[in-house]
């Protein structure tokens, strides 16, 4: 099984409302994305992603070190939290999965970001914040703030993969995923005409109906004959722990997906 750009267009984008289709059209013409990002997304196929099992996930949890190290929330830097490059962190995370054929531990992800993916994220970020001109203390402060952001992202990305794997294991439902859906259309997964959106209640970024980040219902007409949107809230589970969905959440999600299945 694989899902590429064409499958995402046919199965998901075709059911978007006018706002969703306009967002895609504008994305296609963005000057800052034309050279590298748009060809990357259009050519990207998720295949290895769908071969993992919960046993692979549990192994990664066991083998991974603490993604936040001893960095505390007070060390985060707003500019780094808000900083973006043309390549989204999701792009680079899934590129690692498909390129290396692995579900990465924190150490494997961190190494990838510092080496093969450096030119697409860390390099521009460090240049933007003048890393070379900083003194030793400034470099340390910047590095710890970067770890805070990347560590949180890693736990977030792994949270979504666990959700996908558990729903498949418990309910036999293979949810579908593509970077275009996630990064542009704010759809974490879909199954037929059912869209699944995973979120934490955090007013700075996203609650179910508000926040800085656009919600999927902006681009799809929830409750129409064609589309149903399921929002899955997952609670944070302590500093430096993998963010895991409860069995009750998985049960409710699986039942909801199956209730909408044709």
pLDDT for residue 238 = 55
Residues of the chain with pLDDT under 50: 203-212
Alpha helices in the chain (DSSP H): 5-11, 18-28, 31-34, 37-43, 54-63, 78-82, 89-100, 106-114, 122-128, 136-171, 179, 247-260
> How far, in Å, CA of 168 to CA of 103, rounded?
17
* Token pair listed for 107: 């150490």
* Residue showing tokens 């149903």: 228
- DSSP 8-state code for residue 165: H
Residue 194: its H or E element: strand 194-199
Rounded (5°) CA angle 56-57-60: 90
pLDDT for residue 236 = 55
- DSSP 8-state code for residue 65: -
Structural domain count, the chain: 1
Question: Do residues 71 and 135 touch, judged by C-beta distance below 8 A?
Answer: no
pLDDT for residue 244 = 79
pLDDT for residue 80 = 96
- Stated pTM of the model: 0.91
Q: Which domain holds residue 57?
A: 5-260
pLDDT for residue 210 = 44
The pairing of strands 228-233 and 189-191 is unpaired
- DSSP 8-state code for residue 212: S
> How far, in Å, CA of 116 to CA of 106, rounded?
15
């Amino acid at each position: 099984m694989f899902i590429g750009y064409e499958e995402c267009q046919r199965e998901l984008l075709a059911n978007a409302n006018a706002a969703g289709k306009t967002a895609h059209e504008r994305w296609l013409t963005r000057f800052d994305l034309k050279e590298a990002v748009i060809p990357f997304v259009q050519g990207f196929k998720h295949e290895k992603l769908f071969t993992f099992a919960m046993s692979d996930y549990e192994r990664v949890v066991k083998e991974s070190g603490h993604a936040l190290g001893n960095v505390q929330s007070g060390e985060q830097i707003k500019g780094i939290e808000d900083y973006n490059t043309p390549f989204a962190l999701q792009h680079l995370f899934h590129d690692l999965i498909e390129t290396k054929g692995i579900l990465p531990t924190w150490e494997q992800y961190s190494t990838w970001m510092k080496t093969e993916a450096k030119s697409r994220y860390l390099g521009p970020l460090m240049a933007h914040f003048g890393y070379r001109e900083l003194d030793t203390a400034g470099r340390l402060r910047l590095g710890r703030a970067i770890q805070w952001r990347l560590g949180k992202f890693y736990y977030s990305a792994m949270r979504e993969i666990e959700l996908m794997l558990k729903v498949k294991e418990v309910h036999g439902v293979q949810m579908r995923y593509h970077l275009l859906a996630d990064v542009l259309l704010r759809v974490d997964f879909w199954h037929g005409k059912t869209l699944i959106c995973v979120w934490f209640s955090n007013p700075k970024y996203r609650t179910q109906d508000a926040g800085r980040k656009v919600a999927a219902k902006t681009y799809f007409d929830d409750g129409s004959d064609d589309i149903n949107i399921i929002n899955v809230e997952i609670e944070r589970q302590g500093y430096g722990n993998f963010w895991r969905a409860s069995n009750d959440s998985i049960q409710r999600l699986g039942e909801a997906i199956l209730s909408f299945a044709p």
